[in-house]
Amino acid sequence: MLIAPLDWGMGHTTRCIPIIKALLAQQCTVTIACNANQQLFYKKEFEADNNLSYQALQGYSVFYWSRFFTLAITLQIPKIALKILQEKRWLAHYLQYNTCQVIISDNRYGLYHPSVTSIIITHQLQIITPYFKYIINNTIARAINNFNTCWIPDNANENQRLSGELSTNTKVTIPTQYIGILSRMVLPNLTKTSNSILVLLTGPVNAKKYLFKLIKNYYCNTTQVITIVNVPNASILYYLKKQGNIKVLPTVNTALLQQLIATHETIITYSGYTSIMDFYTLQQPVLLIATPNQPEQEYLLKHVCNTFPKLFTPFIN
């Protein structure tokens, strides 16, 4: 089995964990194709296993400006297309020297092969965008149709879907399967600390910086105890360490993250799809904020807050 998660943030990386665990439990041989940061993360999550190995595969390295998200992505379309071509070549070379029965690609559109059963994992059968929606979603459908099957990480019940309209596209003609929610999380039975706030900085560095600034301004005079996870750079880390009521954790593994979620009274994070799946799995109420000018997160924020109001609440109305 070859598994390859996209490298945009850590959401695609973490949501593959339950799939990898299930395959290893069945004594499958699993190879994870990923970049150095993803490999470091997985090695902390999984003990050494003879059935688990890694192959170096560079990611898309997508960046964006918070004020001009759509423009930034549009300007990078040639680079993304080149990356897809490169990963197709990488896969052809890999298969010359390795036996592989199944390829599982999480949002990497170039990792399919006609001689190998190829599965794509995505909740994005269509993209929320203010421009060129028809062209973009037709292009996405054609890319998905190169695979044998599309796994959608969401509930089969249409009324209980986290992805809303994102996971429907009539132009996708290959078999699709709603495989349920993908989450690495299990909530331990711990007591919550009153008056405590947990802030999970997720996504690319620019998004982390924005949320940090927002939290800093919102809680600048509070006496509440705040824990901030995934601090993006040294300057912010230095600033936070001088604040008496703020505890800083640059990175955490799954076990510690579950403990933090279980013991904090208020939790704030972005409305990224993997985060939404995690908190839905835990049935843990959370305050959500959308990355500015990112249409998908803005849509997901409205959708899940309307559909599951007991779990999801906008941080700022």
| Whether pLDDT at 219 is above 80 | no
Q: Looking at residue 66, what is its pLDDT?
A: 56
Q: Which of 42-46, 69-73, 131-135, 277-281 has the lowest mean pLDDT?
A: 69-73
Joined tokens for residue 54 = 């890694």
Q: Express each pLDDT in 227-250 by its tens digit.
A: 888 765 555 555 555 556 677 777
243-274 confidence digits (pLDDT tens):
566 777 777 889 999 999 999 999 999 899 99
Provide the percentage of residues in the chain whose pLDDT is more than 70.
83
Residues 192-211: pLDDT tens digits?
Answer: 888 888 988 776 656 666 66
Radius of gyration of the chain (CA): 20
CA-to-CA distance for 166 and 297, rounded, in angstroms?
11
* 3-state helix/strand/coil string of 295-314: HHHHHHHHHHHHHCCCCEEE
- Between 292 and 163, name the one with better pLDDT: 163
| Gap between the Cα atoms of 41 and 13, Å rounded | 9
Question: What confidence score (pLDDT) does residue 79 get?
Answer: 76
pLDDT (tens digit per residue) in 278-303: 999 999 999 999 887 788 999 999 99
Task: Name the band, by pLDDT with cuts 50, 70 and 90, for residue 135.
Answer: confident
pLDDT of residue 314: 95
Q: How far apart are CA 262 and CA 145, in angstroms?
A: 41
**Cα(225)–Cα(208) distance, integer angstroms:** 20
DSSP state of 129: -
Is the pTM higher than 0.75? The answer reads yes
Rounded to whole angstroms, what are the CA distances from 56 to 10, 98, 174?
Answer: 17, 14, 29
Average pLDDT (123-147) is 89
93 or 220: which carries more pLDDT confidence?
A: 93
Would you say the C-alpha torsion 42, 237, 262, 189 has a positive or negative sign? Answer: positive
Residue 62: what pLDDT? 67
Helices (H), 69-116: 69-75, 77-97
Q: Residue written as tokens 């690609």?
A: 105
pLDDT confidence of residue 235: 54
pLDDT of residue 80: 80
Calculate mean pLDDT across residues 162-188.
95
* pLDDT tens figures, 30-56: 999 999 999 999 998 998 888 999 999
Backbone φ, ψ for residue 239 (5° rounding): -60, -45
pLDDT at 64 over 70: no
Domains in the chain, CATH or no CATH each: 2-178 (3.40.50), 193-314 (3.40.50.2000)
Range 203-208, long-range pairs (CB < 8 A, 24+ positions) = 203/9, 203/11, 203/270, 203/272, 203/291, 204/8, 204/9, 204/62, 204/63, 204/64, 205/232, 205/233, 206/63, 206/64, 206/65, 206/66, 207/9, 207/66, 207/270, 207/291, 207/294, 208/232
